[in-house]
Structure 1
Amino acid sequence: MARINWTRDELLLACALVVENGWRELRPADKRVQNLSKILRKLPLHDGAAADPKFRSPGSVSRKTGDIVTARLGYHGVTTKGGQLTREVVADFTKRTDEMLSAAQALYAGVASSELVRVPAQEGEGALGREGQLLRRWALYRERDKPLRDRKIQAVLEEGIPLQCEVCSFDFTTAYGELGDGYIEVHHRLPLHISGVTETRIADLALLCANCHRMCHRTFRGESWRTPAALRRQMRKSV
């Protein structure tokens, strides 16, 4: 089969394994490598590739852990040709170890639950952040869950709070009259790779207008998310 490049999601899991192994390469016989091989073959990233037994085999996973080790800044020895994306992910793990490990744990949990691998592509996935494509897709999917959205809106209305954007105070009813009545978008205050895969509480959700929601999710300088509070501060600076 033709060579299939590693995605950021796959590298996220492989690099986490290397970090947890003390930044040392892992061999094909290692059970952790064999387990990761099985997980990578399940990810909905390369249509039909898993039909080939060589795809993300323990041997290929082991070689990638070697690429990761040699891509680390300060490595003394012969470097392998792991590619630019491998170097970028390694740099992210070096600078933001806890955050990247949390993202890997969330990705593992998503695969274990079987929900993540069933989530279809979502409108607005956009450019990738450090956490990769699948966690971003899963977060958008969960935010668009209608029963969850309805519960949040109902809770706000019962408190007598108007349905308006928590960042810019935009009110759809005020702007559009009856057409906008009851409309608002729902956003997780923290993304999955920060909060971990938990049962979503109403308090974990924010109400946003479409523009502010997109800005909270927009990838900028490697960051694919920002909290509503951070976005509000950004707006004040730009005024």
Structure 2
Amino acid sequence: MSDDGQASPATQPRNPPWTRDELILALNLYFQDRSAAGNDTHPEVINLSKHLRALHIHPKVVRERTNFRNSNEVGLKLANFRAVDPSEPGGMASASALDKQVFNEFANDKAALSAAAELISSLGESLPPPSPHDADEEYEGSEGKLITREHRHRERDGKLPKQKKAAVMKKTGKLACEVCDFDFHAQYGELGKEFAECHHKKPVSEMKPHQKTKLDDLAIVCSNCHRMIHRTRPWKSIEELKSLLNESEV
């Protein structure tokens, strides 16, 4: 215990593993300036450390630890990326499987990496902490949990999903899945009346800042098809999943 009553670094709990969101931000910095790898005094390493501590990814009690994503930890993470970078010698050989996965996904698409990092940064301090709905989600987009959370928020919340369902009901008289044609009302009677999920067809990462969601951006889907759409990276389109379903029925 230090003189100010705070736990010393040696006695503080172990930090949580790096998330995909955090790794995207770190990898983006790595490609911007490889000299930052392993350098805990580099100005951009210090800035990223402050930013990671402010993001609403981990609980506040974790982010307030003095050793959480400090400049030393950030510098070492960049050194992990150097170790898996075939164009760079050296680095820290303790890179995780997720470190390697994120590196391989974005090494040849730095424009997508930069766009994802920018969106994560803009969402990270404005999105509220995860809700129970977010906590039990078993999938996330390649851009990370924050962007996935924003995507799911657009699918579930606000007036637009209700307006989409009302428009489809008025036009077709039912809420049939656009992939498999499953109709909850037809299957479950009154219990399933006007029940369906909305899928946002355009990933948030592909939308321009402040771009509003339109009714045509939403699709009516059943719960199973919605899960299948989001199960892979990149997420499958309505057309791709429908084609896959048709092939399996042949």
> Where on the TM-score scale, by shorter chain, does this alignment land: which range?
0.7 to 0.9
Matches of 1:161 and 1:35, distance apart in 2:
54
With 70-79 and 102-111 compared, the bigger mean Cα shift is at 70-79
Match of 1:9 among 21, 24, 46: 21
Runs of at least 5 residues in structure 2 that lack an aligned partner in the other structure: 1-11
| C-alpha RMSD over aligned residues | 2.6
| SS of residue matched to 2:36 | coil
Superposition map of 1:54-133 within 5 A? 54-77=67-90, 79-112=92-125, 114-115=126-127, 117-122=128-133, 124-133=136-145
TM-score by length of 1: 0.83
Matches of 1:169 and 1:212, distance apart in 2:
10
Cα distance, 1:29 vs. partner?
Answer: 4.6
In structure 2, the partner of 1:236 is: 246
Structure with greater Cα Rg = 2
Q: Is the 8 A contact 1:28 1:61 kept in 2?
A: yes
Runs of at least 5 residues in structure 1 that lack an aligned partner in the other structure: none
Deviations 1:194-239 (A, max 9, x none): 44664222221111011111111224xxx26211111111112212
Matches of 1:96 and 1:234, distance apart in 2:
27
With 130-139 and 143-152 compared, the bigger mean Cα shift is at 130-139
TM-score by length of 2: 0.79
In structure 1, the partner of 2:167 is: 155
| SS of residue matched to 2:220 | strand
Deviations 1:16-52 (A, max 9, x none): 122233x443544544333322221123444322222
Matches of 2:105 and 2:87, distance apart in 1:
15
